[in-house]
Amino acid sequence: RDLVARYGGEEFVVLLPGTAVDEGQQILTRLQRSLSVGLFMHEDKTIFVTFSAGVPDYRDGEPLEAALERADEALYEAKRTGKNRTCIG
């Protein structure tokens, strides 16, 4: 079962069990693109939403923390290399 959870201030974790890393990257890229085409209202202000994502390749038996650390590293790579994109870590 897929799951989305808040993970820190402005960070979220999207768990996609049984999903290959390249497919996970495609899913998050589609989500990123669909959110980026619209404008949102917050406190009577128009907000343009962007996000960067890190996608780890989960290795059987590894601690979840290790996969989250690789996702975090990939996230910061995405931010360093242009933002509003997804990178595999």
For the annotated catalytic residues, the residue numbers are 10
- Classify residue 11 by burial, with Cβ atoms within 10 Å: 0-12, 13-18, 19+: middle
User: Using CA atoms, how far apart are residues 40 and 44, in angstroms rounded to an integer?
Assistant: 10
| Six-digit token string for 84 | 């509003």
